[in-house]
Amino acid sequence: MEHFIQKRVIVTGGAGFLGSHLCEQLLAAGHEVTAIDNFYTGTKRNILHLLGNPYFELIRHDTTFPIYLETDQIYNLACPASPVHYQNDPVQTTKVNVHGSINMLGLAKRIGARILQASTSEVYGNPAVHPQPEHYLGCVNPVGLRSCYDEGKRCAETLFFDYYRQHQISIKVARIFNTYGPRMHPNDGRVVSNFILQALRNEPITVYGDGTQTRSFCYVDDLIDGLIRLMESPQELTGPINLGNPGEVTMLELAEAVCELTGSRSPICLKPLPADDPERREPDIRLAQQHLGWSPRVPLREGLTRTIAYFEQLLTGRAPEAEARAPTTAQASNTVTLRPGTAPVEATLPKVEARH
Protein backbone atom coordinates (compact mmCIF):
# COMPACT_ATOMS: atom_id res chain seq x y z
CA MET A 1 0.00 0.00 0.00
CA GLU A 2 1.27 3.48 -0.88
CA HIS A 3 2.45 5.31 2.24
CA PHE A 4 0.68 8.65 2.68
CA ILE A 5 2.91 11.55 3.63
CA GLN A 6 1.25 14.60 5.08
CA LYS A 7 2.88 17.74 3.76
CA ARG A 8 2.93 21.34 4.93
CA VAL A 9 1.63 23.43 2.08
CA ILE A 10 1.45 27.20 1.60
CA VAL A 11 -1.15 28.64 -0.78
CA THR A 12 -0.59 32.34 -1.54
CA GLY A 13 -3.85 33.93 -2.66
CA GLY A 14 -5.57 31.24 -0.57
CA ALA A 15 -8.67 33.38 0.08
CA GLY A 16 -9.34 33.91 -3.63
CA PHE A 17 -11.51 32.01 -6.06
CA LEU A 18 -9.01 29.30 -7.10
CA GLY A 19 -7.00 29.47 -3.86
CA SER A 20 -9.97 28.67 -1.64
CA HIS A 21 -10.85 25.58 -3.72
CA LEU A 22 -7.20 24.51 -3.68
CA CYS A 23 -6.98 24.85 0.14
CA GLU A 24 -10.14 22.76 0.42
CA GLN A 25 -8.77 19.97 -1.79
CA LEU A 26 -5.38 19.92 -0.06
CA LEU A 27 -7.03 19.67 3.38
CA ALA A 28 -9.33 16.92 2.09
CA ALA A 29 -6.22 15.04 0.94
CA GLY A 30 -4.87 15.24 4.53
CA HIS A 31 -2.27 17.99 4.19
CA GLU A 32 -1.55 20.89 6.54
CA VAL A 33 -2.39 24.14 4.75
CA THR A 34 -1.39 27.76 5.36
CA ALA A 35 -3.22 30.34 3.25
CA ILE A 36 -1.44 33.66 2.79
CA ASP A 37 -3.61 36.51 1.52
CA ASN A 38 -3.90 40.30 1.84
CA PHE A 39 -7.60 40.22 0.81
CA TYR A 40 -6.99 42.50 -2.16
CA THR A 41 -9.56 40.58 -4.22
CA GLY A 42 -10.05 37.57 -1.98
CA THR A 43 -12.29 37.42 1.04
CA LYS A 44 -12.27 35.60 4.35
CA ARG A 45 -15.80 34.43 3.54
CA ASN A 46 -14.34 32.11 0.87
CA ILE A 47 -12.51 30.15 3.54
CA LEU A 48 -14.72 30.74 6.57
CA HIS A 49 -15.74 27.08 6.51
CA LEU A 50 -12.08 26.03 6.79
CA LEU A 51 -11.15 28.20 9.78
CA GLY A 52 -12.27 25.59 12.32
CA ASN A 53 -9.98 22.94 10.80
CA PRO A 54 -6.90 22.49 13.03
CA TYR A 55 -4.79 21.74 9.95
CA PHE A 56 -5.67 25.10 8.36
CA GLU A 57 -4.12 28.46 9.12
CA LEU A 58 -4.72 31.88 7.56
CA ILE A 59 -2.08 34.61 7.49
CA ARG A 60 -2.97 38.13 6.37
CA HIS A 61 0.14 39.18 4.49
CA ASP A 62 1.14 40.95 1.27
CA THR A 63 3.56 38.72 -0.67
CA THR A 64 5.39 41.76 -2.06
CA PHE A 65 7.04 41.72 1.39
CA PRO A 66 9.21 38.77 2.51
CA ILE A 67 7.82 36.12 4.84
CA TYR A 68 9.67 33.41 6.75
CA LEU A 69 7.87 30.10 7.30
CA GLU A 70 8.62 26.38 7.16
CA THR A 71 6.86 24.39 4.47
CA ASP A 72 7.27 21.56 1.97
CA GLN A 73 5.35 23.06 -0.95
CA ILE A 74 4.25 26.53 -2.09
CA TYR A 75 1.46 27.23 -4.55
CA ASN A 76 1.95 30.84 -5.68
CA LEU A 77 -1.50 32.13 -6.66
CA ALA A 78 -1.42 35.62 -5.18
CA CYS A 79 -2.33 38.09 -7.93
CA PRO A 80 -5.54 39.80 -9.00
CA ALA A 81 -6.76 37.83 -12.01
CA SER A 82 -9.37 39.83 -13.89
CA PRO A 83 -8.75 43.03 -15.92
CA VAL A 84 -10.98 45.19 -13.72
CA HIS A 85 -8.98 44.18 -10.67
CA TYR A 86 -5.46 44.09 -12.06
CA GLN A 87 -5.91 47.39 -13.92
CA ASN A 88 -7.14 49.10 -10.76
CA ASP A 89 -3.54 49.28 -9.48
CA PRO A 90 -1.27 48.19 -12.36
CA VAL A 91 1.95 48.96 -10.50
CA GLN A 92 0.89 46.71 -7.62
CA THR A 93 -0.03 44.03 -10.19
CA THR A 94 3.49 44.05 -11.60
CA LYS A 95 4.88 44.14 -8.05
CA VAL A 96 2.96 41.08 -6.90
CA ASN A 97 4.17 39.18 -9.95
CA VAL A 98 7.80 40.28 -9.68
CA HIS A 99 8.50 41.09 -6.00
CA GLY A 100 5.93 38.55 -4.83
CA SER A 101 7.51 35.81 -6.94
CA ILE A 102 11.03 36.75 -5.82
CA ASN A 103 9.93 36.58 -2.17
CA MET A 104 8.25 33.20 -2.53
CA LEU A 105 11.10 31.81 -4.67
CA GLY A 106 13.57 33.08 -2.04
CA LEU A 107 11.57 31.26 0.64
CA ALA A 108 11.53 28.06 -1.46
CA LYS A 109 15.28 28.33 -1.98
CA ARG A 110 16.04 28.87 1.74
CA ILE A 111 13.99 25.94 2.99
CA GLY A 112 14.21 23.59 0.00
CA ALA A 113 10.47 23.69 -0.76
CA ARG A 114 8.91 22.88 -4.13
CA ILE A 115 7.10 25.87 -5.65
CA LEU A 116 4.35 26.09 -8.27
CA GLN A 117 3.52 29.27 -10.16
CA ALA A 118 -0.05 30.01 -11.26
CA SER A 119 0.80 31.52 -14.63
CA THR A 120 -1.75 32.27 -17.29
CA SER A 121 -2.77 31.89 -20.91
CA GLU A 122 -2.37 35.68 -21.07
CA VAL A 123 1.37 35.08 -21.56
CA TYR A 124 0.39 34.15 -25.15
CA GLY A 125 -1.17 37.62 -25.61
CA ASN A 126 -3.24 37.87 -28.79
CA PRO A 127 -2.03 34.57 -30.24
CA ALA A 128 -1.28 33.93 -33.89
CA VAL A 129 -1.35 30.14 -33.30
CA HIS A 130 -4.41 28.05 -32.41
CA PRO A 131 -4.67 26.17 -30.17
CA GLN A 132 -1.71 27.51 -28.16
CA PRO A 133 1.03 24.98 -27.38
CA GLU A 134 3.51 25.69 -24.59
CA HIS A 135 6.36 26.32 -27.07
CA TYR A 136 4.45 29.20 -28.71
CA LEU A 137 6.20 32.34 -27.50
CA GLY A 138 3.18 34.63 -27.66
CA CYS A 139 2.33 38.03 -29.05
CA VAL A 140 2.12 40.47 -26.16
CA ASN A 141 1.84 44.24 -26.12
CA PRO A 142 4.37 45.48 -23.52
CA VAL A 143 2.82 48.96 -23.12
CA GLY A 144 -0.94 48.34 -23.11
CA LEU A 145 -3.50 48.40 -20.30
CA ARG A 146 -3.24 44.63 -19.85
CA SER A 147 0.56 44.58 -19.88
CA CYS A 148 0.94 44.84 -16.07
CA TYR A 149 -0.66 41.40 -15.87
CA ASP A 150 0.57 39.77 -19.10
CA GLU A 151 4.17 40.98 -18.81
CA GLY A 152 4.13 40.60 -15.02
CA LYS A 153 3.23 36.92 -15.43
CA ARG A 154 5.84 36.50 -18.18
CA CYS A 155 8.50 37.98 -15.89
CA ALA A 156 7.35 35.70 -13.06
CA GLU A 157 7.90 32.69 -15.37
CA THR A 158 11.38 34.03 -16.20
CA LEU A 159 12.17 34.31 -12.48
CA PHE A 160 10.98 30.76 -11.83
CA PHE A 161 13.24 29.37 -14.55
CA ASP A 162 16.21 31.51 -13.47
CA TYR A 163 15.88 30.31 -9.87
CA TYR A 164 15.63 26.76 -11.24
CA ARG A 165 18.78 27.10 -13.39
CA GLN A 166 20.79 29.23 -10.97
CA HIS A 167 19.74 27.74 -7.61
CA GLN A 168 18.42 24.29 -8.62
CA ILE A 169 15.12 24.72 -6.79
CA SER A 170 12.17 22.50 -7.66
CA ILE A 171 9.70 24.49 -9.78
CA LYS A 172 6.41 23.89 -11.57
CA VAL A 173 4.79 26.42 -13.90
CA ALA A 174 1.12 26.02 -14.83
CA ARG A 175 -0.40 28.20 -17.56
CA ILE A 176 -4.01 28.46 -16.51
CA PHE A 177 -6.72 29.20 -19.07
CA ASN A 178 -10.13 30.74 -18.23
CA THR A 179 -11.58 28.97 -15.23
CA TYR A 180 -15.04 29.40 -13.75
CA GLY A 181 -17.12 28.08 -10.89
CA PRO A 182 -18.59 28.92 -7.50
CA ARG A 183 -16.81 31.75 -5.60
CA MET A 184 -15.93 33.69 -8.73
CA HIS A 185 -16.16 37.39 -7.96
CA PRO A 186 -19.61 38.68 -8.90
CA ASN A 187 -18.32 42.10 -10.04
CA ASP A 188 -15.01 41.26 -11.65
CA GLY A 189 -16.22 41.71 -15.21
CA ARG A 190 -15.48 38.12 -16.24
CA VAL A 191 -17.77 36.85 -18.92
CA VAL A 192 -19.23 33.80 -17.14
CA SER A 193 -20.15 35.61 -13.92
CA ASN A 194 -21.46 38.63 -15.85
CA PHE A 195 -23.68 36.61 -18.15
CA ILE A 196 -25.06 34.60 -15.23
CA LEU A 197 -25.81 37.66 -13.10
CA GLN A 198 -27.38 39.54 -16.01
CA ALA A 199 -29.50 36.48 -16.85
CA LEU A 200 -30.61 35.94 -13.25
CA ARG A 201 -31.61 39.61 -13.02
CA ASN A 202 -33.33 39.46 -16.45
CA GLU A 203 -31.07 42.32 -17.57
CA PRO A 204 -29.72 42.52 -21.16
CA ILE A 205 -26.72 40.21 -21.66
CA THR A 206 -23.82 42.29 -23.02
CA VAL A 207 -21.79 40.53 -25.69
CA TYR A 208 -18.74 42.39 -27.04
CA GLY A 209 -17.94 42.46 -30.76
CA ASP A 210 -20.18 40.31 -32.93
CA GLY A 211 -20.12 37.47 -30.39
CA THR A 212 -18.22 35.09 -32.69
CA GLN A 213 -14.96 35.38 -30.73
CA THR A 214 -14.32 32.16 -28.82
CA ARG A 215 -13.07 31.24 -25.37
CA SER A 216 -12.60 27.94 -23.59
CA PHE A 217 -13.80 27.53 -20.02
CA CYS A 218 -12.48 25.05 -17.47
CA TYR A 219 -14.53 24.14 -14.41
CA VAL A 220 -12.71 24.92 -11.16
CA ASP A 221 -12.63 21.30 -9.84
CA ASP A 222 -10.85 20.14 -12.99
CA LEU A 223 -8.33 22.96 -12.77
CA ILE A 224 -7.49 22.28 -9.11
CA ASP A 225 -7.01 18.59 -9.92
CA GLY A 226 -4.53 19.63 -12.65
CA LEU A 227 -2.59 21.94 -10.31
CA ILE A 228 -2.23 19.24 -7.66
CA ARG A 229 -1.16 16.63 -10.24
CA LEU A 230 1.48 19.04 -11.54
CA MET A 231 2.79 19.76 -8.03
CA GLU A 232 3.04 16.00 -7.33
CA SER A 233 4.65 15.18 -10.70
CA PRO A 234 8.28 14.02 -11.00
CA GLN A 235 10.98 16.58 -10.23
CA GLU A 236 12.11 16.91 -13.85
CA LEU A 237 8.68 18.06 -15.06
CA THR A 238 8.94 21.82 -14.61
CA GLY A 239 6.42 22.98 -17.22
CA PRO A 240 5.33 25.41 -18.42
CA ILE A 241 2.27 23.29 -18.91
CA ASN A 242 -1.17 24.39 -20.11
CA LEU A 243 -4.18 23.64 -17.93
CA GLY A 244 -7.55 24.47 -19.41
CA ASN A 245 -10.50 23.11 -21.28
CA PRO A 246 -9.93 22.91 -25.05
CA GLY A 247 -13.66 22.98 -25.84
CA GLU A 248 -14.16 26.30 -27.67
CA VAL A 249 -17.41 28.18 -27.34
CA THR A 250 -18.43 31.48 -28.94
CA MET A 251 -19.65 34.29 -26.71
CA LEU A 252 -23.06 34.08 -28.34
CA GLU A 253 -23.28 30.33 -27.65
CA LEU A 254 -22.30 30.94 -24.04
CA ALA A 255 -24.91 33.69 -23.65
CA GLU A 256 -27.60 31.42 -25.10
CA ALA A 257 -26.61 28.49 -22.84
CA VAL A 258 -26.75 30.74 -19.76
CA CYS A 259 -30.17 32.09 -20.77
CA GLU A 260 -31.50 28.57 -21.26
CA LEU A 261 -30.10 27.18 -17.99
CA THR A 262 -31.36 30.12 -15.93
CA GLY A 263 -34.71 30.28 -17.76
CA SER A 264 -34.00 33.99 -18.28
CA ARG A 265 -35.90 36.43 -20.45
CA SER A 266 -32.77 38.58 -20.98
CA PRO A 267 -32.19 39.93 -24.50
CA ILE A 268 -28.64 39.76 -25.95
CA CYS A 269 -27.09 43.19 -26.57
CA LEU A 270 -23.95 43.66 -28.74
CA LYS A 271 -21.28 46.28 -27.79
CA PRO A 272 -17.92 47.30 -29.34
CA LEU A 273 -14.94 45.05 -28.57
CA PRO A 274 -12.48 46.48 -25.97
CA ALA A 275 -8.79 47.11 -26.85
CA ASP A 276 -6.32 44.20 -26.61
CA ASP A 277 -9.13 41.65 -26.26
CA PRO A 278 -7.90 38.44 -27.92
CA GLU A 279 -10.06 36.99 -30.69
CA ARG A 280 -9.48 33.39 -29.77
CA ARG A 281 -7.96 31.51 -26.88
CA GLU A 282 -7.78 27.74 -26.75
CA PRO A 283 -5.30 25.53 -24.88
CA ASP A 284 -3.33 22.73 -26.43
CA ILE A 285 -3.35 20.32 -23.47
CA ARG A 286 -1.42 17.41 -24.98
CA LEU A 287 1.48 17.87 -22.53
CA ALA A 288 -0.87 17.76 -19.52
CA GLN A 289 -2.61 14.68 -20.93
CA GLN A 290 0.68 12.91 -21.58
CA HIS A 291 2.64 13.85 -18.44
CA LEU A 292 -0.09 14.32 -15.84
CA GLY A 293 -2.76 11.97 -17.20
CA TRP A 294 -5.02 15.01 -16.90
CA SER A 295 -7.99 16.14 -18.97
CA PRO A 296 -10.93 18.27 -17.91
CA ARG A 297 -13.99 16.15 -17.16
CA VAL A 298 -16.80 18.51 -16.19
CA PRO A 299 -18.91 19.46 -19.26
CA LEU A 300 -19.68 23.17 -19.72
CA ARG A 301 -23.42 22.85 -19.10
CA GLU A 302 -22.84 20.91 -15.87
CA GLY A 303 -20.28 23.45 -14.63
CA LEU A 304 -22.57 26.32 -15.58
CA THR A 305 -25.46 24.71 -13.69
CA ARG A 306 -23.34 24.48 -10.51
CA THR A 307 -22.09 28.05 -10.95
CA ILE A 308 -25.60 29.37 -11.58
CA ALA A 309 -26.75 27.67 -8.34
CA TYR A 310 -23.98 29.51 -6.47
CA PHE A 311 -24.91 32.91 -7.93
CA GLU A 312 -28.61 32.30 -7.29
CA GLN A 313 -27.75 31.73 -3.62
CA LEU A 314 -25.53 34.80 -3.62
CA LEU A 315 -28.33 37.01 -4.97
CA THR A 316 -30.78 35.71 -2.41
CA GLY A 317 -28.24 35.99 0.43
CA ARG A 318 -28.09 32.19 0.79
CA ALA A 319 -24.58 31.65 -0.63
CA PRO A 320 -22.64 28.95 1.21
CA GLU A 321 -20.31 31.53 2.70
CA ALA A 322 -23.25 33.65 3.78
CA GLU A 323 -24.70 30.58 5.49
CA ALA A 324 -21.41 29.55 7.06
CA ARG A 325 -21.52 29.81 10.82
CA ALA A 326 -19.69 32.75 12.33
CA PRO A 327 -16.22 31.76 13.50
CA THR A 328 -15.70 31.18 17.18
CA THR A 329 -13.03 33.20 18.97
CA ALA A 330 -10.67 30.22 18.70
CA GLN A 331 -11.28 29.94 14.96
CA ALA A 332 -10.89 33.66 14.44
CA SER A 333 -7.54 33.48 16.21
CA ASN A 334 -6.29 31.32 13.30
CA THR A 335 -5.89 34.67 11.54
CA VAL A 336 -2.57 36.39 12.08
CA THR A 337 -1.91 39.91 10.84
CA LEU A 338 1.70 40.43 9.83
CA ARG A 339 1.22 43.57 7.77
CA PRO A 340 -1.86 45.57 7.08
CA GLY A 341 -3.40 44.36 3.79
CA THR A 342 -4.61 46.57 0.98
CA ALA A 343 -8.23 47.62 1.05
CA PRO A 344 -10.42 45.24 -0.96
CA VAL A 345 -10.94 46.74 -4.41
CA GLU A 346 -14.66 45.94 -4.48
CA ALA A 347 -15.12 48.79 -2.06
CA THR A 348 -13.52 51.32 -4.40
CA LEU A 349 -14.50 50.19 -7.87
CA PRO A 350 -17.63 51.00 -9.78
CA LYS A 351 -19.62 48.04 -11.09
CA VAL A 352 -18.17 47.14 -14.49
CA GLU A 353 -19.44 45.54 -17.62
CA ALA A 354 -18.33 42.19 -18.96
CA ARG A 355 -14.90 41.61 -20.48
CA HIS A 356 -14.26 38.37 -22.27
Ligand X SMILES: NC(=O)c1ccc[n+]([C@@H]2O[C@H](COP(=O)([O-])OP(=O)(O)OC[C@H]3O[C@@H](n4cnc5c(N)ncnc54)[C@H](O)[C@@H]3O)[C@@H](O)[C@H]2O)c1
Residues with a catalytic annotation lie at 149
User: In whole angstroms, how close is the CB of 183 to ligand X at the nearest point?
Assistant: 8
Q: Does 15 bind ligand X (CB under 6 A)?
A: yes
Q: Does 178 bind ligand X (CB under 6 A)?
A: yes
Q: Does 87 bind ligand X (CB under 6 A)?
A: no
Which one of the spans 67-75, 79-87, 278-286, 287-295 is the region binding ligand X (CB under 6 A)? 79-87
Q: Does 35 bind ligand X (CB under 6 A)?
A: no
Which one of the spans 7-15, 228-236, 259-267, 325-333 is the region binding ligand X (CB under 6 A)? 7-15
User: In whole angstroms, how close is the CB of 139 to ligand X at the nearest point?
Assistant: 18
Q: Does 242 bind ligand X (CB under 6 A)?
A: no
H or E, element range at 159: helix 147-167
Selected binder of ligand X within 7, 9, 10, 19 (CB under 6 A)? 19
Q: How far is CA 107 from CA 96, 235, 337, in A?
A: 15, 18, 19
17 vs 160 by CB, closer to ligand X: 17
H or E, element range at 172: strand 171-176
Its sign, for the CA torsion 163, 221, 43, 70, is negative
3-class secondary-structure state, position 171: strand
Q: Does 101 bind ligand X (CB under 6 A)?
A: no
Q: How far apart are CA 83 and CA 80, in angstroms?
A: 8
Q: Does 127 bind ligand X (CB under 6 A)?
A: no
85 vs 114 by CB, closer to ligand X: 85
Q: How far apart are CA 126 and CA 150, in angstroms?
A: 11
Q: Does 42 bind ligand X (CB under 6 A)?
A: yes
Selected binder of ligand X within 48, 78, 205, 308 (CB under 6 A)? 78
- The answer to whether 227 and 26 have CB atoms below 8 angstroms apart is no
The H helix count followed by the E strand count for the chain is 11, 14
N-term to C-term CA, the chain: 47
Q: How far is CA 320 from CA 9, 16, 36, 48, 312, in A?
A: 25, 15, 22, 10, 11
Q: Does 18 bind ligand X (CB under 6 A)?
A: yes
Selected binder of ligand X within 10, 11, 26, 79 (CB under 6 A)? 79
Q: Does 176 bind ligand X (CB under 6 A)?
A: yes
Instruction: Provide the CA 1 distance to its chain's centre, in angstroms.
Output: 34
User: In whole angstroms, how close is the CB of 250 to ligand X at the nearest point?
Assistant: 18
Measure the CA angle with vertex 158, ends 144 and 162; round to 5°: 160
Which one of the spans 33-41, 49-57, 275-283, 289-297 is the region binding ligand X (CB under 6 A)? 33-41
Binding site for ligand X (CB under 6 A): 12-13, 15-19, 36-42, 62-64, 77-81, 96, 100, 118, 120, 176, 178-179
